[in-house]
């Protein structure tokens, strides 16, 4: 795994969504580092109720971009990961709540992957706007694997825009 070169706060402060990628391939060692970080992400009961699909086919990438409301940049990323919830991995323990917990687990793993990508000097954009049924069909997913997020990953090929936020105190409510 590649060592982090900056503090966590610096990392999240410079994080931006980039939608243009250079065509250079991503080395398998980089993917290994991303997966290692995902493997360490917290999950409900430590059951890791998610699956990660690497989309290798250019044809599938194009179809996924179309299924994501024609977000063409998805098909241009050298590495595309799709994070899926898999409630079946914890239903024995959590019953109906597994549906929620598996979505949370997949989301946490994808967020960890996103931070790993930035720490490795690459970029990505969280893609959650897509036709779930079409994505499932394109990837031929088992019924219990529900797509939650796509991360197109690569070297940035555009300058990031300035980021605006609500501000930390606006997020907090005292109850």
Dig out the tokens for 151 from the structure: 């991360």
Helix 28-39 vs helix 98-119: crossing angle, to nearest 10: 140
Number of other CB atoms surrounding residue 117 within 10 Å: 24
Mean pLDDT over all residues of the chain? 91
CATH topology of domain 22-158: NADH Oxidase (3.40.109)
pTM, entire model: 0.89
- Is the pLDDT confidence value at 124 over 60? yes
Domain ranges of the chain: 22-158
The mean pLDDT of 133-152, rounded to a whole number, is: 98
pLDDT, position 2: 54
When pLDDT is averaged across residues 90-107 and rounded to a whole number, the result is 94
Q: Name the least confident of 19-23, 64-68, 74-78, 150-154.
A: 19-23
Beta carbons within 8 Å of 74's beta carbon, 6+ residues apart: 61, 64, 65, 68, 80, 127, 150, 152
102 or 20, which is more confident: 102
Q: Which residue has the tokens 């998805």?
A: 74
Confidence (pLDDT) at 5: 55
């Amino acid at each position: 795994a590649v060592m982090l070169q900056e503090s966590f706060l610096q990392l999240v402060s410079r994080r931006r969504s980039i939608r243009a990628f250079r065509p250079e391939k991503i080395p398998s060692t980089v993917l290994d580092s991303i997966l290692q970080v995902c493997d360490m992400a917290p999950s409900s009961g430590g059951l890791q109720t998610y699956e990660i699909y690497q989309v290798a086919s250019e044809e599938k990438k194009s179809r996924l971009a179309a299924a994501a409301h024609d977000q063409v940049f998805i098909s241009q990323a050298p590495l595309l990961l799709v994070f899926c919830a898999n409630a079946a991995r914890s239903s024995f323990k959590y019953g109906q709540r597994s549906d929620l917990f598996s979505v949370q687990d997949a989301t946490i793993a994808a967020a960890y992957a996103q931070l790993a990508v930035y720490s490795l000097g690459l970029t990505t954009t969280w893609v959650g706007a897509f036709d779930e049924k079409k994505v499932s069909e394109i990837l031929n997913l088992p019924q219990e694997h529900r797509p939650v997020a796509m991360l197109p990953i690569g070297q940035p090929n555009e300058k990031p825009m300035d980021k605006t936020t609500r501000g930390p105190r606006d997020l907090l409510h005292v109850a």
